Structure 1
Amino acid sequence: MLKSERQKNILDLCEQFGVVTVKMIQEKLGVSDMTIRRDLKELDERKQLIRQHGGAQSVDYVDSSKQTLTNTIDGKELSHLEKKEISTKEKHYIARNAAKLIQNENETIFLGPGTTIELMTEYITLEKVRIVTNSLPVFNLLKEKDKYDLYLIGGSYRAHTGAFVGSVADEMVQKMGISKAFVGVNGIQDHWVSTFNIEEGKIQQLVLDAASSKFLVADAHKFNHRDFYNFYDLQKIDGLFTDYNLSNEVKRHYEQYIKIFN
């Protein structure tokens, strides 16, 4: 393969996925990692992509992320109110599908923080079920219905997400038996899922470790994007609920790690 053709293919992959790793490019093009790294360096110097540790990011992808397609802008975490305004239709779609798994009154369900999980409260059809959450918004939505065995995990309060985190919350979670856990994420890249805050990532890790069945919810814009802190391995998750905007190629790539519902 000629150098010009190889570099064009790399740019095409960047455009398609937004963020690519050296490993992904190797699998697609069948060339050495040293060759890919040299190409990425040249393309970065020509400002045709943005080189990152272990891969690259398209220039257009950076522009789109500034239009609030993810949960951060220029490294700053969006507020809870700002997040609620993003991809509302898609979040309802995801929440409706995920809530269908809550169908056994004898189970203990964990609902984590996040605007998509908050919407799940609208679609739970059971009259009686035990629900545990560390999200104040989720708790407030559920307590108004007055029909659940409801537990709020306390701790240090994070206003950006309405979540309780820290050592007190971590200790409480580790003592609970959880049947199914639903957790939101800020980014999904290769087999890792990430979030903005370390303490929030830590409690989500502990929740998932404690749960018999583990599920993630994430709109399509979260794929091929990494936030600050990797907190879990996709390969340990039972299923990921996303929306209809996820491309077939991106879905095929991530299905090597996890079952995707969209």
Structure 2
Amino acid sequence: MKYALVTGGSRGIGKAICIQLASDLKYNILLNYHSNTEAAEATKTEIEKMGVNCDLLRFDVADHDSTQNSIDNWKKDNPEAKVEVLVNNAGITKDGLFIWTNQEAWDSVINTSLNGFYNVTQTVLKDMLRSRYGRVINIVSLSGLKGNPGQVNYSAAKGAMISATKALAQEIGKRKVTVNAVAPGFINSDMTSEFDENELKQLIPLKRFGDPEEVANLVSFLASEKSSYITGEVISINGGLYS
């Protein structure tokens, strides 16, 4: 059975990605979430209506041992399953001016995005390389490309993920495993709910925030065989705000 593993998949962009991969590509979904069991269960119900399986894995991607144990235990319980697609979507923000950013705000943002990428990707990558097929898609950010004031920690984490995407793509391309990044701008989600949309959309050529489903459509394409000659790329989806 072929699976797509999506971290932070219970809400927002992650949820939209899970639904799109199930709908477009008929992947069974391995949905990782950290704490909101109710949201994860609701997303699982929605996905399974499409006739695919959805297994829930609760762990914090920033915790190496917990991540590895959860995925390894799932593999033991599902020996016929194969993770063909990995979407590293889990991420958090703790915004504020750099001079006021305390150690916890720095570490937690870096650990979730960057160390989370390491912890999850390394756990599933060997199987992709053995089977000579795989898609790794990292959800990064406009902040990681151009920087964003008040988000030095988040910009640092996403910028590092962008560089890691390019390097890993070069290491494993010969095994037919592609690695790409998707860099959303302002997308309607919990993460942007407190932003001043009226003010910010004046900066965007398309004059609106994006929807999670629009990001999910791009991820679905990158997860498909249609994208087989694309690797090491960072694709912006931001309404023309920055490219």
TM-score, with normalisation over the residues of structure 2? 0.42
Larger radius of gyration: 1
TM-score, with normalisation over the residues of structure 1? 0.40
